[in-house]
Amino acid sequence: MTDAAKTMEKLAALCKLAQEPAQAIRRHNDILVVSHVDADGLTAAAIMCKALERQGINYKPLFFRQLDEAALNLVADQGSDLVVFTDLGSGMINEICERGIRAVVTDHHKPAVCEARPLAHINPHLVGADGATQLSGSGTAFLLASALDPGGNQDLSALAIVGAVGDLQDMASGHLLGLNRQILEIGAKAEALSFSRDIKLFGRQTRPVYKLLEYSQDPYFPGLSGNEDACIAFLKEVGIRLSGEKWRRWIDLEQEEKARIVTALLKKGLRSGVDNAKLERLIGEVYILLAEREGTELRDASEYSTLLNATARYGHADVGLQVCMGDREKALQEAQKLLGEHRQNLVNGLRLVASSGITALKNIQYFDAGDAILDTIVGIVAGMSFQMADRSRPILAFATTPAGDLKVSARGTQDLVRSGLDLADALSHSAHAVGGVGGGHNVAAGATIPPAAKQEFLELMDSAVGKQLCR
């Protein structure tokens, strides 16, 4: 059987899993939608809320940083007849059922070993698909939304793609694949999306061209990345006019100018000793939301997802949700303000890591931000910190939560994943062993542990990752 045929078979299996919960949802007038505080969680919730709204069903959204015992108690206290979990829930299936919560779980994280069964559980792992690269939480929610209205809701595929890109599901191969690819095709057919090959640097719609180069981390260009003056000089040397009435963005350039920049970047990268495989990541597939205005963050899936992260991770999930639901005035303005603050916080976080340093163990490396970096963004800072870290080891970042627990965010690279790294497995087992909870994906995962267990946890993680990479 070909890969395409296998993907279609998995899609059919997931669509079949969505039929029964779709029927159950139609029988309810009020539904609680519970989701995660990141771009994938926001878009997943928005897809579900929009689909319910179109069915004339009332809904209440509820967002959590992590679905733990306290969060589930709060969900149970809502007394809802039916709860739809989006982008979380698979790791807590048994606990959901123990509380008697009548639930539909749409998720893409690795499921826990289930002793109990909710009303429905829709997860790519259940049909043999990888939830880290083949289907996001928003994609899973989209399949349920499609089952709610067969032949309708295709336009919501645009939000599913934003969620997948926000979850970095296109990074390993430079484009979306598997079940994500099927949703992309649906969106293109519905004229909600377009996709093409282009430079993958962040900010094509909104940033001046020199800023694209200055903030480039994947690939990292020695002498350019992090150096504004050098980037401006480089572009002038290539013969690019940088400004007119305002700074020119990537979308303002002619095709010939874009080609000149890419060629010059590849040559500079090769001269600087950048690996060919890393340079290949300069070009990849980009995703455009056709209903959004050109030159705004919402036009590009990558920039849209970053805007959403800037709302939910700071306790303003309601703002991000309203943007996803279509508010292009008050909510969008507030989101853009939060985005500016988010960018400054990331810069401050990187400065903190640079000054305090990263501690290397045998198989992992880590830094402890304490309360200097918000626990909701410390994972983003960890991923960005690879520019100053050893890329042969995954990075763990610690931050103190408002409740006084210790949040752990772990980030790897696709090269490490290909060598056997599975952070979700290592983090889940290590956190559980010290009385915490954790999970996620092979390349990115998170946990919450007791502060006193930090050293024991580090030792367990170092050993677990070492065994994975030895294999």
Residue 382 lies in a domain: yes
Q: How far apart are CA 316 and CA 311, in angstroms?
A: 5
Per-run averaged pLDDT (10 residues), the chain, 471 residues: 91 96 95 96 98 97 91 94 96 90 94 80 95 95 97 95 95 92 97 97 96 86 90 96 91 96 96 87 96 97 96 94 97 96 91 94 96 92 86 94 94 89 94 91 91 97 95 71
Residue 331 lies in a domain: no
Residue 430 lies in a domain: yes
Comparing C-alpha atoms, which of 412, 437, 376 is closest to residue 168?
A: 412
- How high is the pLDDT of residue 109? 92
- How high is the pLDDT of residue 275? 82
91 Ramachandran zone, left/alpha/beta (phi>0; psi -120 to 50): alpha
CA 3 from chain centre, in angstroms, equals: 25
Comparing C-alpha atoms, which of 289, 308, 304, 302 is closest to residue 165?
A: 302
| Count of structural domains within the chain | 3
Q: What digits encode the pLDDT tens for the residues 135-154? A: 999 999 999 999 999 988 99
Chosen domain end from 273, 289, 305: 289
Same-domain check for residues 22 and 140: yes
Same-domain check for residues 217 and 156: no
Whole-angstrom CA distances from 362 to 117, 244, 266, 365, 425 are: 40, 52, 34, 8, 19
Q: Is 315 exposed, middle or buried (0-12, 13-18, 19+ CB in 10 A)?
A: middle
With both helix axes pointing from N to C terminus, report the angle between 317-325 and 301-312 in degrees, rounded to the nearest 10: 140
How is residue 274 written in tokens? 């950048």
Same-domain check for residues 185 and 201: no
| Residue range(s) defining the domain that contains residue 253 | 193-289
CA 126 from chain centre, in angstroms, equals: 21
Q: Is 209 exposed, middle or buried (0-12, 13-18, 19+ CB in 10 A)?
A: buried
Residue 208: what are its φ and ψ, rounded to 5°? -60, 150
Q: How far apart are CA 43 and CA 35, in angstroms?
A: 9
Same-domain check for residues 97 and 71: yes
- How high is the pLDDT of residue 384? 86
Coil, helix or strand for 120? strand
Same-domain check for residues 187 and 261: no
- Mean confidence (pLDDT) of the chain: 94
Q: What digits encode the pLDDT tens for the residues 50-99? A: 999 999 999 999 999 889 889 999 999 999 999 999 999 998 999 999 89
Chosen domain end from 192, 217, 236: 192
Coil, helix or strand for 411? strand
CATH number at 392 reads: 3.10.310.40
Residue 226 lies in a domain: yes
Residue 238: what are its φ and ψ, rounded to 5°? -75, -15
- How high is the pLDDT of residue 219? 83
Chosen domain end from 267, 289, 311: 289
Q: How far apart are CA 466 and CA 24, in angstroms?
A: 46
- How high is the pLDDT of residue 464? 97
Q: DSSP assignment of 333-370, as one string?
A: HHHHHHHHHHHHHHHHHHHHHHHH--EE-SS-EEEE-T
Q: How far apart are CA 230 and CA 152, in angstroms?
A: 50
With both helix axes pointing from N to C terminus, report the angle between 454-470 and 423-433 in degrees, rounded to the nearest 10: 150
CB 287 within 8 A of CB 300: yes
**CB neighbours (10 Å) of residue 22?**
22
- How high is the pLDDT of residue 105? 96
Same-domain check for residues 147 and 55: yes
Coil, helix or strand for 212? helix
